[in-house]
């Protein structure tokens, strides 16, 4: 912007801004969001009928991980498995999870419901208070989005903990 001195006898500000040309139009980016298939997990469970079925799929996926891995299993109306997505990979004892990241793959895959899960590298599948709080938050977010959270399964060494089986999943 250039400044010029006023050329009249009346009182004017010291510097007057010259009028510039028309303002430039701002460009709005246009995006296309795509769900990309990265591979397949060999399993005999194509439909989830119980927490034990889900555990069998998740145990294979989370086997040999040395850190906490939080994932979401996307399901159709008949609890058929649409896909499995890793939401977060954390440290030995924690994983940062936000509802936005949990439901993103569910929305992109047109899932009717989800089953969230993570492992405990320590081997003990009992939930912490933070995990209980997160589960309540995920159920509430799912209600808002119209994507039901069927269960939260914690995978340990040869055993698992199911929030639904223990009556800790408030869906109503």
Domains of the chain in start order, with CATH, are: 51-162 (3.40.140.10)
Per-residue pLDDT of the chain (172 residues; tens, 9 = 90+): 555 555 556 666 666 666 667 777 888 888 887 888 888 887 777 889 999 999 999 999 998 888 999 999 999 999 999 999 999 998 877 788 999 999 999 999 999 999 999 999 999 999 999 999 999 999 999 999 999 999 999 999 999 999 999 999 876 4
Q: Three-class SS string for the chain?
A: CCEECCCCCCCCCCCEECCCCCCCCCCCCCCCCCCCCCCCCCCCCCECCCHHHHHHHHHHHHCCCCCCEEEEEEECCCCEEEEEEEEEECCCCCCCCCHHHHHHHHHHCCCCEEEEEEECCCCCCCCCHHHHHHHHHHHHHHHHHCCEEEEEEEECCCCEEECCCCCCCCCC
Q: What's residue 67's pLDDT?
A: 92
Q: What's residue 34's pLDDT?
A: 81
């Amino acid at each position: 912007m250039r400044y010029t001195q006023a050329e009249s006898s009346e009182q004017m500000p010291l510097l007057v801004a010259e009028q510039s040309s028309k303002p430039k139009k701002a460009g709005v980016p246009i995006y296309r969001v795509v769900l990309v298939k990265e591979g397949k997990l060999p399993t005999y469970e194509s439909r989830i009928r119980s927490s034990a079925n889900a555990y069998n799929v998740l145990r294979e996926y989370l086997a040999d991980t040395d850190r906490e891995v939080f994932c979401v299993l996307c399901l159709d109306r008949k609890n058929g498995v649409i896909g499995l997505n890793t939401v977060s990979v954390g440290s030995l004892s924690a994983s940062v999870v936000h509802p936005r990241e949990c439901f993103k793959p569910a929305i992109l895959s047109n899932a009717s419901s989800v089953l969230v899960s993570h492992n405990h590298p320590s081997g003990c599948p009992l939930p912490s208070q933070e995990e209980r709080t997160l589960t309540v938050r995920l159920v509430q977010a799912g209600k808002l989005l119209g994507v039901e959270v069927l269960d939260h399964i914690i995978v340990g060494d040869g055993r698992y903990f199911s929030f639904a089986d223990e009556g800790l999943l408030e869906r109503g």
